[in-house]
Amino acid sequence: MKRFVYINDDEASKELYCDNRISNRKYTLWNFLPKNLWEQFSRFMNQYFLLIACLQLWSLITPVNPASTWGPLIFIFAVSASKEAWDDYNRYLSDKKANEKEVWVVRRGVKKHIQAQDIQVGNIVWLRENDEVPCDLVLLGTSDSQGVCYVETAALDGETDLKTRIIPSACTGIDLELLHKIKGVIECPKPDKDIRRFDANVRLFPPFIDNDVCPLTIKNTLLQSCYLRNTEWACGVAIYTGNETKLGMSRGIPEPKLTAVDAMIDKLTGAIFVFQIVVVMVLGVAGNVWKDTEARKQWYVRYPEEAPWYELLVIPLRFELLCSIMIPISIKVSLDLVKGLYAKFIDWDEEMMDQDTGTPSHAANTAISEDLGQVEYILTDKTGTLTDNRMIFRRCCISGIFYGNENGDALKDRQLLNAVASGAPDVTRFLTVMAICNTVIPVQSKAGDILYKAQSQDEDALVNAAAKLHMVFVSKNANQLEIRFNGLILRYEVLETLEFTSDRKRMSVVVKDCQTGKIILLSKGADEAILPYACAGQQTRTIGEAVEQYAQLGLRTLCLAWRELKEDEYVEWSVMFKEANSVLVDREWRVAEVCQRLEYDLQVLGVTAIEDRLQDGVPETIETLRKAGINFWMLTGDKQNTAIQIALSCNFISPEPKGQLLLIDGKTEEEVCRSLERVLLTMRITTSEPKDVAFVIDGWALEIALKYHRKDFVELAILSRTAICCRVTPSQKAQLVEILKSCDYRTLAIGDGGNDVRMIQQADIGVGISGREGLQAARAADYSIGRFRFLKRLILVHGRYSYNRTAFLSQYSFYKSLLICFIQIFFSFISGVSGTSLFNSVSLMAYNVFYTSIPVLVSVLDKDLSEATVMQHPQILFYCQAGRLLNPSTFAGWFGRSLFHAIVVFAISIHAYAYEKSEMEELGMVALSGCIWLQAFVVALETNSFTVLQHMAIWGNLVVFYGINWLFSAIPSSGMYTIMFRLCSQPSYWITMFLIVGAGMGPILALKYFRYTYRPSKINILQQAERMGGPIMTLGNIEPQQRSIEKEVSPLSIALPKNRNPVYEPLLSDSPNATRRSFGPGTPLEFFQSQSRSSSSYSRNCKDN
């Protein structure tokens, strides 16, 4: 679909397209209440509680005052609605500020000052230096005589370096006065969110040009939110406005991610709901039977002789209302609140602040912190993530001569310096390609120094290295380049730029040497993108050996080449290139095809080798996280050997004899199939000496494997603990994440660049590094950190604590609701199974909202172990990965505890106060008091580290309980008049409380003592060591139950040994296609010996892809 934009025509586009009003608001003043209520009631649990609240309005069946349910329900909805309203109000203020900004536009040939929201498609907008671009514009003119301007796109893509934008060739030479009157039409695609691409055409109407079509690209645009820099003024025509700009189309709420804990809570909620229905049906039948038999014999029970048709439903519905509190109404709000606090803890963590750049950690997603503690696979980019992305030119090979091999720095190699000084032709050409085959912008500082603004760190390193070798890129004025070499000024005119793409893996420029008039093609790219196109007869063996040698050293390599073009050849090709650039459909593919017709018969000049150092702390971080049982996959676009060397240096894989690499390669389906089968066979073999086996695969073989042998590759993913995937594209990265997720693994993807965004968004948890490639990854991620080493603390400290706290909070919420509900059920057996409530409405309303919520909310401060201990013993993360703290087994324990405590409270309260000893209201208050006291001691028992705030919350909550009830006891109309005063004055009440606490907590304490003393877990051992002040040197191996691989891949019909070793497999010797690589001697890592992450009761099913 296309849109046609008529330049400087106020009426043509006014009715067709939206104005420039930005609106990120979710609500309006009129639709807030109905829309918010609709959203809240779209959740099943809220619908359930609304149904219960509505049923309580039926006076015939409600056992309590409807306020006991309506009160908490309205309170919880009000809290959620207030949060939504506050967030939306802040969005409104932000929109208002942007919409009311003053801008200059041309209306009927006259410059006018208007608000940004009034800009229409087709208007000409004028910008001054440092102005923010108010909408998407096609550039028409600038203050620069060559039609160039500079923009800062940090707000759009996170990249801080300035970018060049240029006017279309059709607008070249138009006077400033005529820009007000310019007329024409732009043919462009419908609005989209791709900020890297804009395929359009422009036709200017006479007298400006005679209807010639001029292609437009992203370089001819100024996008909304960018800033005009180093340019006095610029003007452009509005093509996309309002929410239809590329930035506006990129906005939106990402799909919510469901954590493993949330999924388990949903399952437990479903189980409780089923249990509740069963209880209601049983008690309902029993109640009706008792009514028809025993009740009619009692003189004080008066039932009518003829009841209406719904009489049989009354008692079951009463029990439904009575048992509705089994599902805690406050659990959603409580979890949202504590998860928000988890995110704030990450934001406030000063130990995760990058001191070099001042970059703090940030949690953009507040809902998934507990998933950090259950991560099983980390998929990481290499450049800028594991490495520093600070490129340093180290070595090069020019015409078969190696430079920098002796001292490790080619810039200090005397032989190279002499060749530069003598003006050796090959060296000069090599340096020329380094200096001008790029998109770098030279900028002169106030001190007179030349600084380079580069979008790529590789280009920055090459241009700076060329400058140090006396090939200085001095200036760039539109298409005119100026180079200073050995005191001489060389000028070149850039005729065409053949841009780099991930498919082509190379970039080229066509330049005209202004000194000789020759037209030259300069190219640089990956070895597989340059060497196959070398001219016939050129020996590239030395170049290939140099590439391999440098890759073995972990250096990044680029091959440089050139070719002299004949003028008629260039002219003919230029016509095709222009036509390809004018196509609106599949322009990128057409351009690549045309580029291929020029980039052949190249004379390869040599190879550059750039060092990208590891970030500080990367090896230690990976080693620690591997001990925690986390598997690592490296996904990179670099060469295989470079990736392997980086993997070795950062403890990604182990050297011989503990480490082994298996290579999956091939260019055809048959070769890849054979290689994959042999690697799989190797991975299935078990020996007494486990090995750290990793597989290596490149992008080409990966594409074939995923297309034709997906099932085998999925099995390999299950069996493999480490993988290195080289030369992979962004889409392949996302595919690999999806494969691991399909096997029900919890995945974390971490990267720093725009090419990592898809992988980050696909993973269960996305982590972005605020790096030199900008903030695109950080903005798209759930969490952003300044350095890779902070990942260790993010997972082991924040992730583990969040999981532990959420597991306790969620199960405790069910426990306190079940406790009060069981007491109600027991009371029904001595009240004629009539569905009568033991507790009054005020007590029930306050129970969930006030009496029991405050103590548990401060559990967000609880730490079972100190941070230092957790970091020292990462193996204990297994308890989180395996879901040991929140599963049906642990929930059954809390269920049993609530049942036991209900029996204790009910039995002691009934014995002390029932029948003729007191009023029913007093009995209910005694039972409620017993519940509050028991829960205070339960929270105290489950708390591992006490703070003043926790003591105040636990014991102060008891004071608040008595204070509230004394207040209601003083109100005659409350239904509790004088009750608490009478009870507190009786010694029997306090003796009852003592008996309830003693009988309820005694067995719990005994069980806990037995477990800690005779069957301690690894965590218990560490807790005891912390209390005694003695260090634990080793915990030994934490052996989880074996994961059944047969069950994992049963849909794949693959027979595997049942008791395979969970981690390491040896390499088959003499395997022809499974390449064996020896890495020399080295100290093996202490790996966490398990591939299983969950007990056998939760066997995962790998979905058949």
Q: Which of 840, 825, 870 is nearest to 1035 (CA)?
A: 870
194 is catalytic: no
Q: Is the dihedral of CA 566, 572, 577, 578 positive or negative?
A: positive
Q: Which residues contact 999 (CB under 8 A, 6 or more apart)?
A: 904, 908
DSSP E strand stretches across 343-404: 362-363, 377-380, 387-398, 401-403
Q: Give the C-alpha separation, 61 to 345, whole Å.
A: 47
Whole-number Å distance between alpha carbons of 769 and 362? 10
Exposed e or buried b for every residue in 908-934, given b needs 16+ CB within 10 A?
bbbebbbeeebebbbbbbbbbbbbbbb
CB 81 within 8 A of CB 10: no
E strand residue ranges, 515-630: 519-525, 556-565, 603-614
Reduce the DSSP state of residue 859 to 3 states and report it: helix
CA distances 112 to 18, 223, 623, 838, Å, are 20, 21, 63, 75
User: What is the C-alpha to C-alpha distance for residues 717 and 11, in angstroms, rounded to an integer?
Assistant: 59
What SS3 state is found at 875? Answer: helix
Q: Is 513 exposed, middle or buried (0-12, 13-18, 19+ CB in 10 A)?
A: middle
Q: Of 965, 861, 875, 967, whose CA–CA distance to 921 is shortest? A: 965
SS3 string, 1008-1055, reads HHHHHHHCCCHHHHHHHHHHHCCCCCCCCCCCCCCCCHHHHCHHHCCC
- The answer for 851, left when phi > 0, alpha when psi is -120 to 50, beta otherwise, is alpha
Cα 470 to chain centroid, rounded: 45
Token readout for 584 is 């609106």
Q: In what order do the strands lie in the sheet with 213-216?
A: 2-7, 184-189, 200-204, 213-216
Alpha-carbon gap, residue 54 to 968, rounded angstroms:
26
**Measured between alpha carbons, how far apart are the two ends of the chain, in Å?**
34
Strand, helix or coil at 824? helix
Residue with token string 């390669």: 665
Beta bridge partners of 521: 510, 563
> Which member of 131, 144, 161, 381 is catalytic?
381
Residue 974 buriedness (CB in 10 A; 0-12 / 13-18 / 19+): middle
For residue 212, give both structure tokens. Answer: 């010639």
The residue with tokens 């060591």 is: 1025
CA atoms of 317 and 130, how far apart (whole Å): 68
| C-alpha to C-alpha distance for 106 and 237, rounded to whole angstroms | 10
The amino acid occupying position 752 is: D
Contact of 300 with 273, CB cutoff 8 Å: no
Measured in degrees and rounded to the nearest 5, phi and psi for residue 825 equal: -65, -45
What is the rounded CA–CA span in Å between residue 814 and residue 325?
9
Q: Which two tokens stand for residue 816?
A: 């306190």
The encoded tokens of residue 168 equal 């279309």
Q: How far apart are CA 133 and CA 236, in angstroms?
A: 10
Instruction: Show which residues are catalytic.
Output: 381
